[in-house]
Structure 1
Amino acid sequence: MLYPLASLESDKLNAIQNLEKVIGGPVVALAGVEAKTAELPEDQLQKLQELEEELGIVLVAVRPN
């Protein structure tokens, strides 16, 4: 399961913004997406991790359908 940022309708965004005011801090909305991660050989995993470090992001290799 992966969790990208959720696309929100205005009523949901307003509800989250109201909650942020109540709790005094930001809230991030994520949406679940079914995905099976790929099992990579060590050399490919290392390349993925090096690119993550270089780009400053998280990468997930998934199995093609």
Structure 2
Amino acid sequence: MLYPLATLETEKLNAIQDLEKDIGSPVVALAEVEADTAALPEDQLKKLQELEEELGVVLVAVRPN
């Protein structure tokens, strides 16, 4: 399972912004995406981790459908 940032309609965004004001803290909305991660050999996993470090992001290899 993956959880990227959710795309929100105005009504949902407004509700989240109201909650942020009420609790005094930012809230991040994530969407659930069905995905199976790929089992990578050690050398490929190392390449993925090196690129994560270089780009400053989290990368997830998934199995193709």
When normalised by structure 1's length, the TM-score is 0.98
Whole-Å Cα distance in 2 between the matches of residues 9 and 51 of structure 1? 33
Structure 1 residue runs of 4+, over 6 Å off? none
Counterpart residue type for residue 53 of structure 2: E
Whole-Å Cα distance in 1 between the matches of residues 7 and 55 of structure 2? 24
> Per-residue displacement from partner, 1:12-45 (whole Å, max 9, x unpaired)?
0000000000110100000000000000000000
Counterpart residue type for residue 20 of structure 2: E
Q: Which residue of 2 aligns with 1:13?
A: 13
Instruction: State the aligned residue count.
Output: 65
Whole-Å Cα distance in 1 between the matches of residues 40 and 31 of structure 2? 25
Whole-Å Cα distance in 2 between the matches of residues 27 and 41 of structure 1? 36
Overall identity of the aligned pairs, in %: 83
Whole-Å Cα distance in 2 between the matches of residues 23 and 56 of structure 1? 30
Matches within 5 A, 1:1-65: 1-65=1-65
RMSD over aligned CA atoms reads: 0.3
